[in-house]
Structure 1
Amino acid sequence: MARTATAAAAPRAPGFLRAALLLLLLVAACRQAAEENVVTELRCQCLETMKGIHPRYIQSVKVTSPGPHCDRTEVIATLKNGQKVCLNPESPLVKKILDKLLNNEKWN
């Protein structure tokens, strides 16, 4: 009889391992989902850019340097109405806006 009990217990071990593996994958997926809020997207966010926008409409500016997520510098301006727009970092107006921000100057 001991042989029957051992034989019956053997098929359950892979089921237990499957359940443990699924639980481990679920925990890893939940942890990754929680970390996604901290990590930015791993692709370029700006598909199209504007040459500029009047500084009085800009609330804040975020500059993202090139990296593994995107091979170019991205300048994303958040407007006072909440809209986000991508600006061309090579545009003279955008360079002037960024220069004023870096020097903490007021808009004219």
Structure 2
Amino acid sequence: MDVKLLAVVAALTMVIYAPSSQAAKPISLVERCYCRSTFSNIPRGLIQELRIIQTPNCPFQVIAKLKANKEVCVNPESRWVRQFVKSVINKRKTQKAQLKGLQRST
């Protein structure tokens, strides 16, 4: 068998059976932020769900899933978004405090 043909077969075998992971992706794809542009004024009645994404290479990102099954990025500096995040944090703090109180009483 020709050495060049053997080398090509070995290289193709490695490419085909190599595990795909983020380490194998180019850096430009791994470090890409989800939100490139944001909206500030989205009617709250259209929003079905809000997700918060934090990645090491991108700033704080808020994604709104609309009732029409469309996802848009929301400006995290908007006043209503900041108030929403504060209310979620406060709600979780009170839930944790209530759970601690229940655990102590039993």
Opposite residue 22 of structure 1, the aligned amino acid is L
User: What is the letter of the counterpart of residue 51 of structure 1?
Assistant: S
User: What TM-score, normalized to structure 2?
Assistant: 0.63
> Which entry has the higher C-alpha Rg, 1 or 2?
1
Q: Could you say which structure has the higher strand fraction?
A: 2
The one of the two structures with greater contact order (alpha-carbon pairs below 8 A, sep at least 6) is 1
User: Unaligned stretches of 5+ in structure 2?
Assistant: 23-28, 93-106
TM-score, normalised on structure 1?
Answer: 0.62
Matched position secondary structure for 2:5: helix
Q: Say whether the 8 Å CA contact 1:55–1:97 is kept in structure 2.
A: no
* Structure 1 residues 1-108: aligned runs within 5 Å: 12-28=2-18, 31-32=19-20, 35=21, 42-68=31-57, 70=58, 72-102=59-89, 103=91
Aligned pairs, number: 85
Q: Cα distance, 1:23 vs. partner?
A: 1.2
| In structure 1, distance between residues paired with 2:30 and 2:47 | 23
SS across alignment from 2:73:
strand
Q: Whose helix proportion is higher, 1 or 2?
A: 2
